[in-house]
Structure 1
Amino acid sequence: MQPTATVLVYSDDSTTREQVRLATGRRPAADVPAVEFVECATLPAVLKELERGGVDVCVLDGEAVPAGGMGVCRQIKDEVFDCPPVLLLIGRPQDAWLATWSRADAAVTQPVDPVEFADALAALLRRRTAVGA
């Protein structure tokens, strides 16, 4: 059986979560594991999933309400032991500095560009699996 990677996707918008799933496909690159998604629409759901463990990468919507992905990223980086890498979806390229403030490991703009997104997600999965190996 092939190994799989678990990607947590946080957004209050189901369309954004769908864009992430479609941009990823079964796997974002040939050299990374197939992906299983855990979708969360609220901050408490994100925290519960991270506490449960097994998440390899988090994709957080910086435009989510009421808890934006940038604040969520900063919170989980502070509070979650061995926090998985975070890919932040930002509204504008000018918001990249906020992604840095939030301690995101990578950031891509919305709407999701499938190639850019898959490349960023694959890079984080490679890093996570190399660390976990």
Structure 2
Amino acid sequence: MARLLGASLLILWLQPDWANSQQKNRERQLKQNPPSLTVQEGGNSILNCDYNKNMFEYFVWYKKYPSKGPTFLISILSTEDKNEDGRFTVFLNQSAKHLSLHIAASQLEDSAVYLCAASTQCWVGTRNPYPNL
């Protein structure tokens, strides 16, 4: 007997202007893409972030729901190529200056705004200095 499974759609957004430079010339240091992504429930998602400076040591992905502040999702150090936490995996390619967030088996609660951030330093003993912005 065949069962009909309903398909739910997830929409993942990136906030491309969130990570602008603090320098006087306001040069953008991080660029996220695609601006939005629609995925069926259970599907895999890939969000990308490119950067233009070699000075970053610590990269973080945050997740933000409407009317709430961003919350920490996953991070990676510049000395690493990959970091996994449950369904979330972050990959870092230093030579290409590229960071990507992979979400396996997407769920409805993954519908949110995703923010990529980078820092020139990482505090000793912690990978998550700002759990909730």
- With the length of structure 1 as denominator, give the TM-score of the two structures: 0.27
- Considering fraction of residues, name the structure with more helix: 1
- With the length of structure 2 as denominator, give the TM-score of the two structures: 0.27
- Considering fraction of residues, name the structure with more strand: 2
Using CA pairs below 8 Å that are at least 6 residues apart, which structure has the higher relative contact order?
A: 2
